[in-house]
Structure 1
């Protein structure tokens, strides 16, 4: 195996060792030290997962690989969030944490992730073309992912309207996610354009490549499962010790750590001039969060000893409303499959405002601003609404070819 492949993999494995030793060694460490060690283990494992998932595009369709990559890159967030929801089944004090982590990571992904990736992509495109590029054009194939996100964002308003995430809604969202995976798996496979460690893995012969990919999946998943619970507990304890609002700590610090690998992968795509792939990955992640993650929360809550619905308090309802309206703006503005610079700057500015004005009234005002801007974008892009909402249900090229062969 080439040295340039072994070095980054070995480094990530080494970074997981202190956390695993702390987890299984029975050592009582200070909360801040535990936060750092378990956080490092989770992030390192996420890099291994991201490289393995990207290299898997050699053997499966690109759209399916992007969907799997989007799920795997935020697996630490899923593990932490589901731990909070499961614990909330027996300890109601943990209910706010499940909602905080989900809404925080969701808004972070769109407000910061989408914006930064687009701005970087536009700078790279401008340098390569020798002229100012003002918008990023997405490939037509991304309309399917955008259609799934559009439907999920509409359904998301059920949560703040009812004040709960019911088990029935959870199963419906999980079913919709399964349909999403099946749909993108129907897209024809393409020759992947891999970079970094993923390219080195993808360049291996078939048998060792597949064995390495499976091995990385298994090891990284085990690390995340072992580290998620102590990482979450350390996070809350650290907040108490430092006098930081625990809700905000769980809402922003945990997602920053857990989504770092995905941001890095998307930024790498943007730097290489693959802005469409970068945004496509982040759109897929939004689909995952609004379907797989949200749908899993009431199930984890029930398994943990709770009832059939995860009830939300007033603060959590506000957070979900703000998150849903932000997603609606992102979808509405992208209906034409164009991501202009002004949209990136606007999303980033509105995301920053919630830290300047963190109160209840400010959250409702920001929700109204997102809704008003989304309404304007929907009117402007109204001719793309029907084609986007119907995209998940139209036959893909592969499906069409398969039917042609049968007939």
Structure 2
């Protein structure tokens, strides 16, 4: 009990500097001076990354405790889906803001999807292998067996993935995409909300609060959830920007910072929550947290982009229009969709092992290495054509490998469809 209380107090104390700087002193990135400014002072990139990074870490632990407590009243799937939605809220605000302002600031058009696609590929290329590595490291086997309660989530990820392949082929995002992707998200939430509530094995602070009376526990769960969400929301942007400013000061490539370091920082809450679940012995829950984040981003987030863009056009007195995708954006979306297709194919048998993890990580690192090589060593005039060829080449590779894997595991798909159909009736 004392240890649990100590951990809770430690997490709260670790979050306070970020909360005070952000909400009371108005801390914000000062891009002109490459630092984090606040009322009465300023801090450099490295100290900001440390302070707000502690906020992200504390928020991740607190939200994992609230997720455990939520499982006393909700299914684990729904609890994790809610947590996944909260952890990606900072990305929602950034991408929706960029989509809205793209109506009057055309250079924001490519930025609206840039962070989302990079972060999406990180979830699968590094996140899934990281979860399995934690399982192996803890000596709990060499693969994750996806529980039957989570089988249906794979089908919704597959549906979002198949539809997302169409988007780069037509070259636009429209309200039709908003409707289709929004429907997939609503059906997904409906599905996970109908899962059976199974009392979890609580650990740490969650076990401490779980012993309280029902009213007190629910009050604490709600308060902890809101406090953790506020901490993550306060910390995410300054942490990512502070890391970027520090990287620039240390001479790290701007391309690497924008395309990968910043998305990695923005995805850190999801990574940490998945890792926390896995290290506690819940590898399926850890993988499920990343799957939920992926479904969230592929459906609700992508679907909101054309809607925010349209509203931005109307607010500025312009004619309605679809959200355009330039060739590089089309390549990014296609590559992200192709990687997702391959990931769904390898896990269709509801098992995720060392071989699959190595493949996902190797392909991700290879593609990233080629991208950095083009950016660093190829003259600017030739970069665009090479970027297009690189994205197309890796997309085809992912699709071919996914097709081969799907041909081997096709027999597992009807079982997933039947499971979701029975739950939705």
TM-score range, shorter chain: 0.7 to 0.9
Alignment RMSD: 3.0
State the partner residue of 1:23.
26
TM-score using structure 1 length: 0.84
Query: Equivalences for 1:26-37 in 2 at 5 Å?
Result: 26=39, 29=42, 32=45, 36=49
The aligned counterpart of 1:56 is 70
The answer to whether the 8 A contact 2:240-2:266 is kept is: no
Which of 364, 382, 390 lines up with 1:362 in the alignment? 390
Who is 1:403 aligned against?
Answer: none
Q: Work out the CA distance in 1 between the residues paired with 2:262 and 2:276.
A: 22
Aligned: 1:154 with 2:162: yes
SS at match of 1:288: helix
- Cα distance in 1 for residues equivalent to 2:247 and 2:106: 18
Match among 173, 176, 180 for residue 172 of structure 1: 180
Distance 2:188 2:159 in 1: 11
Q: In structure 1, what is the Cα distance between the partners aligned to 2:102 and 2:41?
A: 24
More deviation in 12-21 or 293-302?
A: 12-21
2:259 corresponds to which residue? 251
In 2, the alpha carbon distance for the partners of 1:49 and 1:10 equals 15
* 8 Å contact from structure 1 (residues 138, 337) kept in 2: yes
2:10 alignment partner, one of 4, 7, 20: 7
- Give 1:323's match in structure 2, choosing from 312, 336, 354: 336
- Separation (CA, whole Å) in 2 of partners of 1:93 and 1:299: 18
Q: CA deviation at 1:17?
A: 1.9
- Tell me: CA distance 1:40–1:120, structure 2 relative to 1, closer, same or farther (3 Å): closer
Segments of 5+ residues of structure 2 without an aligned counterpart are 28-37, 315-319, 375-386
1:206 maps to which residue? 214
Q: Deviation at 1:245? A: 6.3
Report the CA distance shift for 1:314/1:75 in structure 2 as closer, same or farther (over 3 A). Answer: same
Worse-superposed segment, 16-25 or 221-230: 221-230
The CA distance in 2 between the partners of 1:93 and 1:264, in whole Å, is: 33
Distance 2:217 2:279 in 1: 26
Alpha-carbon contact 1:148-1:392 (below 8 Å) kept: no
Moved more, 157-166 or 303-312: 303-312
SS in 1 for 2:148: coil
User: Could you state the TM-score of these two structures normalised by the residue count of structure 2?
Assistant: 0.81
Residue-pair matches, total: 391
Higher relative contact order (CA 8 A, sep 6+): 1
Are the equivalent residues in 1 in contact too, given 2:11–2:58 (CA < 8 A)? no
Any stretches of 5+ residues in structure 1 without a counterpart? 400-407
